[in-house]
Structure 1
């Protein structure tokens, strides 16, 4: 590990200074002051603020939610198999651009995972919603969902909840105040304390987004 030549603290480069010593070194030397002309020029330049791309932001949030749920099920003793479109049929996403029809729609709607334990398998579709809400209109907006036995695991800023597609079809919904927690699902016989631990991860990652 490289050490600062002045104080002995960690630094990235051999024979160099750490960040604190570097700052002190800069302060001890003459610093060039901007001329008035430079200051006026900088004032006239418009400030460019980075704009968030909502699509990319949504993809990232979805990936984080999937990872949390995947690791949660592994911790609960399940075998977890990636099942989504890109995992099952690599490269198919590009081929389906502009393609319409039931087959292409069904491929796009493939659940994210298959989880297996005690001779039982389940389709798992992971969703992230900052609103903490999920209804049938959110699932069937592209047409009838073809995986009728799927379970939807909803990751929010505070909870991890779960509802089946059949329940959604019956008119049930996940709301901010409902008690459809993953730990209450009879299909999984889950460890509620472990689920609470993973809820904390969700809070950590999503509290500022």
Structure 2
């Protein structure tokens, strides 16, 4: 069922307005006015607001990075289970956008994946991040991050690197010059050539970011 983008009431078309909102003219229309001091970016002109546009854009980048890592581990024979909040509780991400509570924070912090190595049946929490800068430090973790045994896999425009939460707590970090490549994690036993192939995918997907 389609909902009104303004009030949430029933409407005939996805992304449209209900009859009441349409009549009330609640969508702002940017009008050229030399005397106006209101920034045009404050208006919604039949599309996403700038804030919502940034939110969706960053979400898409994160989803691409997650898919890269998911497919990487699947191609290497791992069992991969989506574990993050949107997968465990579908639809929860939008509901929690402006919610500030301990429970909401714990839900947001859920790692993206649980992966299992079929050779030894060991399982790992995996949190995937994209950073165009190629950097990830302890300050980038949420405060009081509860998954101390999780692995952070960082996808950048040219590299895929990995660090544990414990290592971040020890003061280690991922930088463009650091040597903490994903292929060097002995516990995973990954094929470095496969990782190189996926690094090339990352370059293709993120070169314009």
TM-score of the aligned structures, taking structure 1 as reference length: 0.71
2:208 is matched with 208
Deviations 1:137-159 (A, max 9, x none): 0113xx21011111000000110
2:42 is matched with none
| Structure with higher helix content | 1
1:189 is matched with 189
CA distance in 1, matches of 2:134, 2:146: 24
Higher Rg: 1
1:136 is matched with 138
Judged with a 3 Å threshold, the aligned counterparts in structure 2 of structure 1 residues 97 and 55 are, in CA distance, closer, same or farther, namely closer
TM-score of the aligned structures, taking structure 2 as reference length: 0.71
Q: Structure 1: where are the runs of 5+ without partners?
A: 1-49
Residue 127 of structure 1 pairs with residue 165 of structure 2: no
**Cα RMSD between the aligned structures?**
1.9
How far is the alpha carbon of 1:56 from its aligned partner? 2.0
Q: How many residues align?
A: 158
CA distance in 2, matches of 1:76, 1:165: 24
Residue 145 of structure 1 pairs with residue 149 of structure 2: no
Judged with a 3 Å threshold, the aligned counterparts in structure 2 of structure 1 residues 57 and 150 are, in CA distance, closer, same or farther, namely same
Judged with a 3 Å threshold, the aligned counterparts in structure 2 of structure 1 residues 57 and 95 are, in CA distance, closer, same or farther, namely closer
CA distance in 2, matches of 1:93, 1:56: 12
2:54 is matched with 54
2:79 is matched with 79
Deviations 1:64-114 (A, max 9, x none): 111100000001110000000011122333554554433221111100000
Q: Structure 2: where are the runs of 5+ without partners?
A: 1-46
CA distance in 2, matches of 1:96, 1:55: 13
CA distance in 1, matches of 2:64, 2:153: 13
How far is the alpha carbon of 1:127 from its aligned partner? 0.3
Judged with a 3 Å threshold, the aligned counterparts in structure 2 of structure 1 residues 60 and 95 are, in CA distance, closer, same or farther, namely closer
